[in-house]
């Protein structure tokens, strides 16, 4: 089932290849089994795009989706290009080897099979991610919960075939005994994790993309590059400026299953953004929509009008997890929660008319005001530098757009 997880030889594209050809190749929709953390081989392309003078871009596929890294720098030597591309690939391979639910021997898969309450030794990276996940779970009172994996599978959004019927009340009650962030202890002093219930299984899909973005940013900065834009599956982190001195801009996509356009452009100045949405991945039973976003607290798919929510944070892993928590909560509960915790968030809510109503928290407004001068100076530019949301924009002169692979596990 799924693609061969063994790495293949990387390819470095010549600078003369057309941009659209590269984007099309990088955005091939993966099959259903190629979910977020599949351990797929990373295929990279290194290009010096004529439409982006003074920039080098590295693109490819990883974690069941695509990635793009833009570096604002003069033309790099072949050795420097290879070094940069290899550093990025090494980070992505590392995240997969630790957090994939597809690779049988990933650290997470081995922990899930650990049918004991004895401490299980893990890497420092896993401790860091579990600590963030635990913190978001605690402040959200379980709206974000990495132990939700059994429920996701029961509702038909796991790696196996969809069950013929939705789970019964009895099945949900039984599964709920295996779900709950308090059932996993993080033991930093021992660099270990411990289950309070040996049947608990974890899924890091709702935080791993963001963590991957942070890891790439770390690798890029370690090589001395201070001006970059990193994107993995729609989660982004920007630092510094483009080669022309302007700040990076991203488009928060309008959460529409048909129209593909930016709802709002946001300036990213040394910050990350992640978007969690719920409108494209679902199925229907007797006319009732079954969403892929599962609320761990009720054990059921969400039922509300929130279409998407975008969160700004210094770290993409935090933005990723918080966006998921707010999406689970819905616009009313989520907006209150974001205000109480000073989270910079933009909510796009479906109206009965089919339009979308935007709600922004004070923290988000403060960010917008702080960057308003930069945004006004660039208001004549029609296209953002990248997209955050359930679609990603093609950054060509024609302003076309194409879908990006969507994780079926954008859950708590």
Tell me the average pLDDT across 137-146.
Answer: 98
Quick one: pLDDT band at residue 375, thresholds 50, 70, 90?
Answer: low
Q: Where are the domains of the chain?
A: 107-202
For residue 126, the model assigns a pLDDT of 99
- Give tens-digit pLDDT for 156-191: 777 667 777 888 899 999 999 999 999 999 999 999
- Weakest mean pLDDT among 134-138, 169-173, 375-379: 375-379
Name the CATH architecture for the domain at 107-202: Orthogonal Bundle (1.10)
Cβ 316 vs Cβ 274: under 8 Å: yes
pLDDT digits (tens, 9 = 90+) for 11-39: 322 222 222 222 222 322 333 233 333 33
Indicate if the pLDDT at residue 393 is higher than 60: no
**Amino acid 388: pLDDT:** 53
Report, as an integer, the average pLDDT of 221-226.
97
pLDDT tens for 296-325 read 999 788 888 899 999 999 999 999 999 999
Write out the chain in H/E/C secondary structure.
CCCCCCCCCCCCCCCCCCHHHHHHHHCCCCCCCCCCCCCCCCEEEEECCCCCCCEEEEEEEECCEEEEEEEECCCCCHHHHHHHHHHHHHHHHHHHHHHCCCCCCCHHHHHHHCCCCCCEECCHHHHHHHHHHHHHHHHCCCCCCCCCHHHHHHCCCCCCCCCCCCCCHHHHHHHHCCCCHHHEEEEHHHCEEEECCCCCCCCCHHHHHHHHHHHHHHHHHHCCCCCEEEEECCEEEEECCCCCCCCEEEEEECCCCCCCCEEEEEEECCEEEEEEECCCCEEEECCEEEECCEECCCCEECCCCEEEEEEEECCHHHHHHHHHHHHHHCHHHHHHHHHHCCCEEEEEEECCCCCEEEEECHHHHHHHHHCHHHHHHCCCCCCCCEEECCEEECCCCCCCEEECCCCCCCCC
* pLDDT recorded at residue 181: 96
Give the mean pLDDT of the chain: 79
Q: Which of 25-34, 145-154, 191-200 has the highest mean pLDDT?
A: 191-200
List the single range of 125-139, 215-229, 251-265, 341-355 with lowest mean pLDDT.
251-265
**69-123, pLDDT tens digit by residue?**
999 987 788 999 999 999 999 999 999 999 998 899 999 999 999 999 999 999 9
So what's the pLDDT on residue 38? Answer: 31
Q: Find all residues with CB under 8 Å of 90, minimum gap 6, and list them.
A: 219
């Amino acid at each position: 089932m799924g693609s061969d997880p063994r790495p293949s030889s990387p390819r470095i594209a010549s600078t003369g290849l057309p941009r659209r050809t590269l984007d099309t190749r990088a955005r091939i929709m993966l099959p259903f089994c190629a979910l977020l953390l599949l351990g797929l081989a990373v295929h990279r392309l290194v290009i010096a795009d004529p439409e982006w003078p003074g920039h080098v871009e590295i693109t490819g596929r990883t974690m069941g989706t695509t990635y793009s890294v833009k570096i604002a720098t003069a033309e790099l030597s072949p050795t420097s290009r290879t070094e940069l591309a290899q550093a990025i690939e090494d980070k992505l391979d590392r995240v997969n080897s630790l957090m994939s639910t597809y690779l049988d021997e990933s650290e997470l898969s081995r922990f899930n099979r650990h049918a004991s309450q004895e401490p299980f030794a893990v890497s420092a990276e896993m401790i860091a991610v579990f600590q963030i996940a635990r913190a978001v779970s605690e402040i959200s009172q379980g709206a974000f919960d990495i132990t939700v994996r059994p429920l996701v599978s029961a509702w038909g959004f796991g790696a196996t075939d969809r069950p013929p019927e939705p789970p019964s009340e009895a099945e949900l009650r039984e599964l709920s005994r295996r779900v709950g962030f308090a059932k996993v202890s993080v033991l930093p002093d021992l660099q270990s994790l411990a289950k309070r219930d040996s049947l608990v299984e974890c899924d890091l899909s709702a935080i791993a993309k963001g963590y991957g973005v942070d890891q790439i940013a770390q690798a890029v900065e370690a090589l001395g590059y201070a001006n970059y834009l990193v994107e993995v599956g729609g989660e982004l982190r920007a630092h510094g400026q483009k080669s022309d001195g302007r700040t990076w801009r991203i488009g928060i996509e309008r959460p529409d299953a048909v129209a593909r356009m930016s709802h709002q452009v946001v300036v990213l100045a040394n910050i990350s953004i992640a978007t969690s949405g719920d409108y494209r991945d679902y199925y229907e039973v007797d006319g009732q929509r079954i969403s892929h976003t599962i609320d761990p607290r009720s054990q059921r798919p969400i039922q509300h009008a929130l279409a998407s929510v975008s969160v700004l944070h210094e770290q993409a892993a935090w933005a990723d997890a918080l966006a998921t928590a707010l999406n689970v909560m819905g616009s009313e509960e989520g907006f209150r929660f974001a205000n109480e915790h000073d989270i910079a968030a933009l909510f796009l809510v479906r109206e009965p008319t089919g339009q979308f109503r935007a709600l922004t928290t004070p923290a988000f407004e403060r960010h917008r005001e702080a960057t308003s001068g930069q945004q006004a100076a660039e208001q004549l530019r029609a296209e953002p530098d990248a997209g955050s949301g359930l679609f990603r924009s093609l950054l060509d002169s024609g302003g076309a757009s194409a879908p990006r692979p969507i994780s079926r596990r954008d859950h708590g």
